[in-house]
Amino acid sequence: MKNEGFNIEIDKNAKPMRTSEWYEEEGFIKIKTVKFEGKLGKWFCDVLKKPNYIIVNLDEMGSFIWKRCDGKTTVEEILEELKESMGKKFEKDGIGPRSFYFMHMLRNRRFVTWEENDSQSTDEKI
């Protein structure tokens, strides 16, 4: 899938793998991520007696996708399962394109990782 000005193509055979600490609460995923990597930021959190992490709360769609980012399930399989689970809502609410942006956000924030084979034909990308 492509959008003008922003390439959101994903290799449909890519297998996203979670890299962040997480937990499930009332059916929704919460990702724990570090605020500061450097000494100054860590020191600042210590001084303020605040944790050096934040919790990212995922919605229904995000939680669904996150649970399947196990390094075994392909992007194509995840999206097919999402489409089956959401039914008409998938197309009606624009969940298809939104899921592509979401998967890229997960990767850009290093919550998940996957390798893409650049030699894949465009038939291998969705």
pLDDT tens column, 51-73: 989 999 999 999 999 999 999 99
CB atoms within 10 A of CB 22: 19
Q: pTM for the full model?
A: 0.78
Q: Give the domain range for residue 108.
A: 20-112
Q: Is residue 14 part of a domain?
A: no
Phi/psi of residue 19, nearest 5 degrees: -125, 0
Q: Does residue 97 carry a pLDDT above 60?
A: yes
- Pick the closest to residue 9 from 69, 61, 76 (CA basis): 76
Please give the helix or strand (H or E) that residue 107 lies within, else none.
Answer: helix 95-108
Give the mean pLDDT of the chain: 84
Region 82-90 average pLDDT: 82
In a domain? residue 9: no
Residue 72: CB atoms within 10 Å: 10
pLDDT top residue among 35 and 116: 35
User: Does the residue 118 lie in any domain?
Assistant: no
Q: Give how many domains the chain has, as a whole number.
A: 1
Residues 6+ apart with CB under 8 A from 38: none
Has residue 123 been placed in a domain? no
